[in-house]
Chain A
Amino acid sequence: MSATITEPGTELLRVENVVVDFPMRGWRKPDFRALHGVSLDIKAGETVGLVGESGSGKTTLGRAVLGLATVASGSIKFDGVELVGTTTAQRRAMGSQVQVVFQDPYTSLNPAMTIEDILSEPLVARGGLNRADARKRVRTLLEQVNLPSDAADRLPREFSGGQRQRVAIARALALSPRLIVCDEPVSALDLSTQARVLDLFVDIQEQTGVAYLFVSHDLSVVRHVSHRVAVMYKGEIVEYGPCSKVTVEPDHPYTRKLLMAAPVPDPVRQKARREQRRELILAGEIN
């Protein structure tokens, strides 16, 4: 797809000891440390799932990779190039390589712009395409995310949540990025829509070889799309390994707690899981 496609399996992103602080309101209040030295790596064409509960710092890590959160110390290397401490202009040049799909499909699209405007904006401003070429590319993108091509002339409000999220994915794909940070991209969607959008993510990865940093609070969502999974808890990664290990038989007590807490859609098995969870709590293995 992209001219600079990386051989699958080579390292694309390396995050090392990243610390992010947020200033607290009020005079001389100490900063709130959202990330306590987090390290992570993503290979080309790979999905790394990032699971954690609210306040664990998973979204902050995604925003740090995107350059939307200020990194206090540590290093983020994309394809060998250091991103921490770069100027806005350098960062902008990287813009086309790392893209984003946000959680909320209702606020992530400008309500006053048509789908075509939304999708062609980065193409014209950054990709140097003229209007006609951009229009053609928009049709291809809409096709790629299974939206009808007449969607181009409509406004975001005319679409359902799942369709809007498809538009957001198309926008992320517009500049043929090599990494997409997906911040809870299916959390706001209905069950059946969620499954289809996840399949779309997988399909697109298989076609284009793009890598995902897939942030979610839902272990089962992450399990469905990730090759490797990192579990975050209070600003630290507590477990990082292959998906089949971390999401099925985790080592860390917190991951086990997460796994046990998610209810199974089957009354019989859920009853068993509930008993299991109760025993683990009584045994003091999880709290």
Chain B
Amino acid sequence: MIVFEDVTKIYDPDVVGLQNFTCHIGKGDFAFLVGASGSGKSTLIKLVLKELEPDEGRILVAGRNLNTLSRRKVPLLRRNIGCVFQDFKLLPTKTVYENVAYALEVVGEPRRSIRRKVPEILSLVGLSDKVNSLPHEISGGEQQRVSVARAFVNHPPLLLADEPTGNIDPDTAIGIMQLLVRINRTGTTVLVATHDRAMVDRMRRRVLQLDNGRLIRDERRGGYDHPVEAEPLLQEV
């Protein structure tokens, strides 16, 4: 689903985003991207969305070669990628319903099917009673669930989450993670960038650890088989 081959991205002047990064995330995978702030997690996400161009290396996403993908086709790429952000990125002037519907309007979904799909996904994330609320009228956890609903309403093959639990309390965060897992079970590849250590511990999924733009660890099952105390990530923190 995502292939990075020897990708390097350097910001001016001499700030490393990613350095010789190579990895392969298969269809249906669920992977965590961990590392301190500035280690390159957000750079990686932006490269996948083609918000940034790599300086070197090749990137394939959902069968598309991003190096040769024309600018005009970028919107089409993004429709295949659901996105969840730390700051939710909801349209502040639109209701919960309209925010989710917008993702469908964008792809030209018929109105009938929008009226069917939006309530369906909102009930999946447990927000059936907040349909007509504006984002500022609901809690952070609820806003994040709207964001997840919007990301998934198109059933994209890939879902990216950049610090999805960064702004919400731990109990609510678990709910969000459970949602992501359920989405993953439908066959959607999920990539979560986070430094929520407890969450990564609990989930025991594939972990890619970045440090200063380099991949320093890639463990299937997150390497959490051995005691948590011995975990290098934890010792570091």
A, B in one complex: no
